[in-house]
Amino acid sequence: MHATEAYPLAAPSTWRAPDSHFEIALSHPWYRMLLQLTDVMQRATVDFWSGRGVRAAYLPVTTGSISSPMGLGSDSSPVRVELEGVPTYLADSMQFLLEYSCRMWEQGTYYVMPSFRGEAPDPTHLCQFYHSEAELPGGLESVMDTVEAYVRHLGRAYLDEMGSTIAQVAGNTEHIERLLTLESFPRVAFTEAVELLGDSPEYVTEVAEGARALTRKAEKALMEKLGEFVWVTHFDHLSVPFYQAFEAGDPSRARNGDLLFGVGETVGAGERHATAGEVRTALAEHRVPEEDYAWYLRMRELSPMKTSGFGLGVERFFLWLLRHDDIRDMQMLQRVNGHQINP
């Protein structure tokens, strides 16, 4: 793909005027490139999981059981809609249904599908974005290893199929080549990260009493200190979703991990509670009504199972791939909550 003099291979920032976006996008090489990026993502993902015996799941985009907000430390809001007079939600993630599907196919299930969030868009957030998610048998360490293998697999696919195009935008493909040389990614526990950076407001924020989170500045500082790809693990349990498992011997910590690269958190992973009793304890601690997740508890009573899962933000991955800094340029078609945009 070659840029033209009229349309260089650079983001045209059409999100600033979404009503005219579709006319520019019809002929602009940036959006032709985005189409190619999404195609490679889809094919490489199917190839990765089919090689591991993991099944694809087609799931509904509406739900009565949102996974976010889901506790005291939630940093996102759900999108509520009304269908034929019945209040429901557009899925912020289909993780719960992947857990359900995983009990039908014990080797694991996955999808690449849209997620919906209620926050306003900004350089790192979209109202509608694509999630590559999977739920697999086993614990946190296993799923983190799988995430690393998946990210490397994607990197290889993009280097092989789109290396020259990516270099036109990013300047080169050295960042992808570095990824492919990494046997594993550095890992740091949340408490160690706080000690490393210093417990100051520019790095650590309290999202609720007893629930701390790292700021975007902290994520960037950790990547500068520890490497381009860094896992941060074992967050304060009250800062993560109720469904993340308790750390053995320390229930104040969660068995979870965020993989930082590009603009920061790009993959979120975690181990789930295996039993209904553990879920009830977590729901109470997070002050989430148990009746809202009665089916989730019942699933564990019928089919207790230790699983872990992850979600990769596709557009955030594209930001890293292209060395770009505004996720609003990663939408083929623009969507902003509260605005009617055609097509």
Tens of pLDDT, residue by residue over 305-327, are 999 999 999 999 999 999 999 99
Q: The pTM is what? A: 0.95
Helix (H, G, I), strand (E, B) or coil at 213: strand
pLDDT > 90 fraction of the chain, expressed in percent and rounded: 85
Classify residue 241 by burial, with Cβ atoms within 10 Å: 0-12, 13-18, 19+. buried
Spatial CA neighbour of 290 closest among 279, 299, 302: 279
Residue 209 has pLDDT above 90, yes or no: no
The token pair at 24 is 């520019």
Residue 139 has pLDDT above 60, yes or no: yes
Instruction: Give the span between the Cα atoms of 324 and 315, in whole angstroms.
Output: 11
Please state the rounded mean pLDDT for residues 246-262.
97
CA 32, 11, 154, 336 dihedral sign is negative
SS3 content of the chain, % helix, strand, coil (to 5): 40, 25, 35
Residue 8 has pLDDT above 70, yes or no: no
Domain at 14-330, CATH homologous superfamily = Bira Bifunctional Protein; Domain 2 (3.30.930.10)
Q: Which of 21-25, 177-181, 253-257 bottoms out in mean pLDDT, i.e. has the lowest?
A: 21-25
Q: Please report, for the chain, the start and end positions of each structural domain, with discontinuous segments joined by +.
A: 14-330
Helix (H, G, I), strand (E, B) or coil at 179: helix
What integer pLDDT is reported at residue 210 of this predicted model? Answer: 79
Residue 214 neighbours by CB under 8 Å, 6+ apart: 190, 193, 203, 204, 205, 222, 232
Residue 144 has pLDDT above 70, yes or no: yes
Question: 35-59, pLDDT tens digit by residue?
Answer: 999 999 999 999 999 999 999 999 9
